[in-house]
Amino acid sequence: MPINSKNSKSKNMNNTLFFGLLMSSILFFTALTSTTVSASPEIEHWRTTNGARVYFVPAPELPIVDIRIIFNAGAARDEDMPGLAILTNGLLAEGAGGLSADQLAEQFESIGARFGNSAQRDMAILSLRTLTEKKIFDSAVNTLTTILTQPDFPKAAFERERGRLLTTLKQNKQSPGKLANKTFFNALYTKHPYRNQPTGTETGINELDTAKLKTFYDKYYVGSNAILAIVGDLSRTDAEKLAQTLMAKLPEGEPADNIPPVEALTDGEEIRIDHPSAQTHILVGQPGMKRGDPDYFALYVGNHILGGSGLVARLSNEIREKRGLAYSSYSYFVPMQQNGPFTIGLQTRNESADEALNVLRETIGTFIKEGPTAEELDAAKKNITGGFPLRISSNKKIIDYIGMIGFYQLPMDYLDTFNERVQAVTLDDIKNAFQKRIHLNKMATVMVGGNVNLTEKK
Amino acid sequence: MNPLSKISAAALTAAALTGCATGLAKNDTAEMSASSTALSANAGETGHIVTIGDVHEYRLDNGLQILIKEDHRAPVVVSQIWYKTGASYESNGTTGVAHVLEHMMFKGTKTLGPNEFSRIIAANGGRENAFTGQDYTAYFQQLEKSRLPISFELEADRMANLNLRAEDFVKEVKVVMEERRMRTDDKPRSLTYEHFAATAFVNSPYHQPIIGWMNDLENMNVDDMRNWYKDWYAPNNATLVVAGDVDAKAVFELAKKTYGKVKARPIPLLKPQTDFEQKGIKRIVVKAPAQVPYMLMGYKVPVVATAKTDWEPYALEMLANVLDAGESSRFAKELVRGQQIATSVGAGYDLYSRLDNLFLFSGTPAKGKTIEELEKAIRTQIQKIKTEQVSQAELDRIKAQVVASKVYEKDSLFYQAMQMGTLATVGLDWQLMDQFVERLRAVTPEQVQAVAKKYLIDDYLTVAVLDPQSTPAPAAANGGHSHAH
């Protein structure tokens, strides 16, 4: 990607994969272990006059500032128009305060500032990284404020971005992994707002117009529904001024309603989708846990052992090391406002799909029944706590954490107490939490790939 | 794209996939004047080569090059060991061997069992991974700073004492075949790129994919591993890069005690395999199950390591940035937003490869537009560069981005280490890293025009088009829903 990765600006829409193609091959990938956790930097916290909650960590070492504004305005708020949240977020920089997308981009890039926006299920995000040199900083903040507070939602840009999003949806159908993921969410969240992908559906996108985006923006992009995270070379006074400048023109509004709780699955379901691929992508799982969950640490540490620690996790050992069945096999929780998914996954050549699924199920079943061994728990604790400094070793990582702490309203000492809470987890805690929460006979199983049985019949 | 962002793309992918991301901000800054003033000779200390700014270069008696960047922001360290070998060192028939061996490096040594390396790093709170490219194979650990000796001991051990067993190989090569299916065979765009590179390059080893042809993987054996390991894994063919909260001298002493024990060995002479001059445009079509068309265009160009005229790679780099460096560059402004011909379109150039490379274009046509229209639009953009000089405002904007990037990159130790490792491993001076901004700043509009006219011509062009083969409607029709368990 170019200096300013198109990705970061492109609302999860289309990235060219350009460099992905040139990329080196790497040894393995670990599961997206839930972005839990941590930083022991001192977090300063206050509210702006219109209700936005601000989280600030001074970082004087580098002359840069990172800013992240998070609204409780993700795709879970799409209601009957899947795609609404991501397009609203995506349109902000497509015209604001009378300036065109070209002009806004030029304002940022002519001073080397990096703007990004994106929307997931819970969060809608705007982010900025800039140098602190006064002229540059003021200009970057000014452009960000314009985008945040005066979006124009131009019709032509909307039509274009809608078209691009529809192409993305089409492209996603090429990917067995993406198809599996979409199907998996549909199965876990049949009637819940987490059901749809943040990229929406064709029907939903086709029903949108700029008035609907504007209504969504007016309702959710308000002070009392916002988190502002700041990390960088600023004094507290400067940070307060910055927060006020950015947020002042937004009305206070109302915080978004609570997302309804997720209903547990009542039955095991298996969905097989035929796809012209060499591999079958397998996803098994159920709704898992939420942020601030009382079982959080037991489930987190337990999952680390089961499938969250790369090559040394049980799943990888059974699937990859012992049998050579897959390049990647993993499990992870995504804690959200309500129970996000617990996902166990792998991808294997079509001929091995049933074998791999059996090993996967057996591995989970044994883990739920017996829990981890004392050695495994000890190793996991050493890994998690010993690696703690790595979690907070850059401004980028720190803003990830304080954004999360702020958005999910986790305790302010979350990072300080993280290691002790990990240390406190016992074998029984893990076993009990998994037995209480995770049910192998009530999981959804999604398999997308070349249907071997069908092929053989031909 | 700027070269460094190329590296960072690599880093990014690795990071994104491994979860070891350090943020991996992109690059570079104009701080070079500051750093060069700090140049110190520090003569007298055996093994110390040079110190520039906060980077210290050493060399062990066995030939191991060591680059240490002190950064005391956080009590962490990243250690990367880079070997001068990769897919472009391979021969036909055993493509993919560099990458399979990278996997086998985790299978134990004379004293450690399979995977024990990973378990020890994990027990020390570490994160680790490895990656193979055309020009390098590298292994890394990220650790709390006091654990650095563990990394050195383990890496030095597997540099010399790898235990390659047939039974491990048989399983691991299956893992790599699964990796190939996942990364290439089932990804229509990656598949298109593979065919594209194999067409554009003939004699050049960039012809072959890093992961190897499936047929070669199927016929690989443990002796191929042993030969590869014996040929390339030696301290005199490696660079150790350490970045973090460390004292350079102490790191050097530690390296002496660990890596220092490994003996130097003769390294095979690499045949140049210089690609012959292309004699005209090449076009291919790749049919694959897909929904959306895609195209790649690549022109043969020199890179820093091969250029006869030293400013040319930087002019090509600037050219890539004019077309595609953010939302204000020409492609985004004119092709995505203005004419709305492309859903996405990119231009890219990696100036830090070992051999001549490609100046690349890629894109997906917008709804209702064709691949032909997209190619025409890209060619029109190229023509415009050739006939009209790039504006000063554009150049200034790119320079501002590059200067800022150089500051931002300091937020990522891993990325900074990647840069040093890449440069050293493709045979360049790592100090070029600090010259990048200045070199790019020196590029004139005339030079941008000159490289476009000289290299972006049909005779050097290869075009590949993904022709989507529609697939039968999937979903419930076939498998349907069945309740089980």
B250 and B336 both lie in a single domain: no
B114 and B246 both lie in a single domain: yes
- Count Cβ neighbours within 10 Å for each residue of A298-320 and write b for 16 or more, e otherwise: bbbbbbbbbbbbbbbbbbbbbbb
- Cβ distance B337 to A28 less than 8 Å, yes or no, reads no
Specify the pLDDT at position B447: 97
Residue B300 touches chain A, beta carbons under 8 Å:
no
- Residues in CB range of A339: below 8 A, 6 or more apart: A261, A262, A287, A288, A289, A290
- Residues in CB range of B120: below 8 A, 6 or more apart: B112, B150, B154
B143 and B220 both lie in a single domain: yes
Q: Which of A63, A170, A269 sits opposite B291 (nearest CB)?
A: A170
- Count Cα atoms within 13 angstroms, Cβ side, for A128: 31
Specify the pLDDT at position A370: 98
B42 and B138 both lie in a single domain: yes
- Cβ distance B327 to A385 less than 8 Å, yes or no, reads no
Q: Phi/psi at B7 (nearest 5 deg)?
A: -60, -45
- Cβ distance A321 to B115 less than 8 Å, yes or no, reads yes
Q: Phi/psi at B364 (nearest 5 deg)?
A: -125, 125
B291 and B393 both lie in a single domain: yes
Kindly tell me the burial class for residue A428, based on how many C-beta atoms sit within 10 Å of its own C-beta (0-12, 13-18, 19 or more).
Answer: exposed
B358 and B219 both lie in a single domain: no
| Tokens found for residue A416 | 């300080």
List the single residue in B with minimal CA-CA distance to A158.
B337
Kindly tell me the burial class for residue B208, based on how many C-beta atoms sit within 10 Å of its own C-beta (0-12, 13-18, 19 or more).
Answer: buried
B290 and B223 both lie in a single domain: no
- Cβ distance A62 to B407 less than 8 Å, yes or no, reads yes
- Cβ distance B479 to A451 less than 8 Å, yes or no, reads yes
User: What number is the average pLDDT over the span B188-201?
Assistant: 98
Q: Are B423 and B354 in contact, with CB atoms under 8 Å apart?
A: no
Specify the pLDDT at position B15: 28
Specify the pLDDT at position B84: 98
Residue B478 touches chain A, beta carbons under 8 Å:
yes
Q: In chain B, what's the furthest Cα-to-Cα distance? A: 76
Residue B132 touches chain A, beta carbons under 8 Å:
yes
Specify the pLDDT at position B287: 98
Specify the pLDDT at position B230: 98
List the single residue in A with minimal CA-CA distance to B29.
A112
Domain coordinates in residue numbering, chain A = 36-247, 269-453
| Tokens found for residue B273 | 């395999």
What is the edge-to-edge ordering of all strands in the sheet holding B282-289?
A: B282-289, B461-469, B294-301, B357-365, B342-348
- Among candidate residues B57, B90, B102, B317, the one labeled active-site is B102
- C-alpha B162/C-alpha B151 separation (Å) is 16
* Model confidence band, residue B432 (pLDDT cutoffs 50, 70, 90): very high
**Tens digits of per-residue pLDDT, B290-346?**
999 999 999 999 999 999 999 999 999 999 999 999 999 999 999 999 999 999 999
List the single residue in B with minimal CA-CA distance to A323.
B171
Low-confidence ranges of chain A (pLDDT < 50): 1-23, 29-39, 454-458
Q: Which of A26, A347, A394 sits opposite B411 (nearest CB)?
A: A394
* Model confidence band, residue B371 (pLDDT cutoffs 50, 70, 90): very high
Q: In chain A, what's the furthest Cα-to-Cα distance? A: 73
* CATH homologous superfamily for the domain A36-247: Metalloenzyme, LuxS/M16 peptidase-like (3.30.830.10)
* Chain B interface disruption, residue of A5, A8, A22, A388, most B CBs within 10 A: A22
B357 and B460 both lie in a single domain: yes
Domains A36-247 and A269-453 fall in the same CATH topology = yes
Q: Which CATH class is domain A269-453?
A: alpha beta
User: Three-state SS for B234?
Assistant: coil
B236 and B191 both lie in a single domain: yes
Domain membership flag for residue B34: yes
B257 and B370 both lie in a single domain: no
Residue B199 touches chain A, beta carbons under 8 Å:
no
Tell whether the model's pLDDT for residue B159 goes beyond 90. Answer: yes
Residue B422 touches chain A, beta carbons under 8 Å:
no
CA-to-CA separations, B303 to A416, B8, B405, in angstroms, rounded: 48, 17, 21
- Cβ distance A1 to B23 less than 8 Å, yes or no, reads no
User: Which residue pairs, CB below 8 angstroms and at least 24 apart, start in A132-141?
Assistant: A132/A63, A132/A64, A132/A65, A132/A232, A132/A233, A132/A234, A133/A63, A135/A111, A136/A111, A136/A112, A137/A65, A139/A107, A139/A111, A139/A113, A140/A108, A140/A111, A140/A113, A141/A67, A141/A242, A141/A245, A141/A246
Q: Give residue B192's domain range.
A: 3-261
CATH number for position B77: 3.30.830.10
Q: Which residues are bridge partners to B65 per DSSP?
A: B59, B239
**Tens digits of per-residue pLDDT, B6-64?**
333 333 233 222 222 222 222 222 222 333 333 444 445 689 999 999 999 999 999 99
Domain membership flag for residue B11: yes
Looking at the structure of chain B, the number of domains it has is 2
B355 and B412 both lie in a single domain: yes
List the single residue in B with minimal CA-CA distance to A105.
B328
Mean pLDDT computed over every residue of chain B: 89
Specify the pLDDT at position B471: 62
Q: Is B102 a catalytic residue?
A: yes
- Cβ distance A390 to B9 less than 8 Å, yes or no, reads no
Kindly tell me the burial class for residue A222, based on how many C-beta atoms sit within 10 Å of its own C-beta (0-12, 13-18, 19 or more).
Answer: buried
**Tens digits of per-residue pLDDT, A24-51?**
555 654 433 333 333 478 999 999 999 9
ipTM over 0.85: yes
- C-alpha B225/C-alpha B102 separation (Å) is 10
Specify the pLDDT at position B25: 27
CA-to-CA separations, A224 to A152, A343, A404, B265, in angstroms, rounded: 22, 33, 16, 66
Least confident of A196-200, B25-29, B188-192, B473-477: B25-29
- C-alpha B102/C-alpha B120 separation (Å) is 18
**Tens digits of per-residue pLDDT, B240-264?**
999 999 999 999 999 999 999 999 9
- Cβ distance A174 to B13 less than 8 Å, yes or no, reads no
Domain membership flag for residue B483: no
B194 and B292 both lie in a single domain: no
Specify the pLDDT at position B34: 31
3-state helix, strand, coil in chain B (%, to 5): 45, 20, 35
